[in-house]
Amino acid sequence: MLEVGTKAPNFSLKDENGDVRTLDEFKGKKVILYFYPKDSTPGCTNQACGFRDLYPQFEEKGAVVLGVSKDSVESHKRFKEKNSLPFTLISDPDLEAIKAYDVWKEKKSGGKTTMGIVRSTYLIDEEGTIVKAFGKVKAKENPQDMLGEIE
């Protein structure tokens, strides 16, 4: 995880519509930047739908939500449409932001070791500074926890 108090790395990646998005375009707003392993899996769907259900409250607090995984633009589009997600999904197939935010880690499952995204969430302030960093978050609890973290 990146340290609280450091400048959040900018990125230039495509969203679910194929439009290039950058972190810098959200300056002046709080950003919930969450990294998740894979579209349409149970945990990731729970997490995304939790952010969806609380999205009006995030907006009231001046925050935007951005979800990032290494899934394709097309996969993100299907995932967003199927679950009526009101926020942007960022496609990072080359692991640019995933590695910059230090969430690409060794994972052990069923006796096998693989590399993958550790479900993690950052809260970035209006100036682009990381103010909270949470690794190994629980999918179902993460959206409510993040809402509580926003002052």
- Would you give per-residue pLDDT tens digits along the chain (151 residues)? 999 999 999 999 999 999 999 999 999 999 999 999 999 999 999 999 999 999 999 999 999 999 999 999 999 999 999 999 999 999 999 999 999 999 999 988 888 999 999 999 999 999 999 999 999 999 999 999 999 999 7
**pLDDT score of 70:** 98
52 CB-contact burial (10 Å; exposed 0-12 / middle 13-18 / buried 19+): middle
**pLDDT score of 83:** 98
- Is residue 13 within 8 Å of residue 92, measured between CB atoms? yes
**pLDDT score of 151:** 72
Q: Which of 8, 13, 31, 44 is catalytic?
A: 44
**pLDDT score of 118:** 95
Q: Which domains does the chain have, with CATH numbers?
A: 12-149 (3.40.30.10)
- Is residue 129 within 8 Å of residue 7, measured between CB atoms? yes
49 labelled catalytic: no
Q: In this structure, which long-range contacts are made by residues 113-117, counting pairs with CB atoms below 8 Å and at least 24 apart in sequence?
A: 116/37, 117/35, 117/36, 117/37, 117/69, 117/70
**pLDDT score of 110:** 85
Report how far residue 118's alpha carbon sits from residue 136's, in angstroms, rounded to the nearest whole number.
Answer: 6
CA distances, 111 to each of 17, 107, 114, 135, 137 (Å): 38, 10, 10, 22, 22
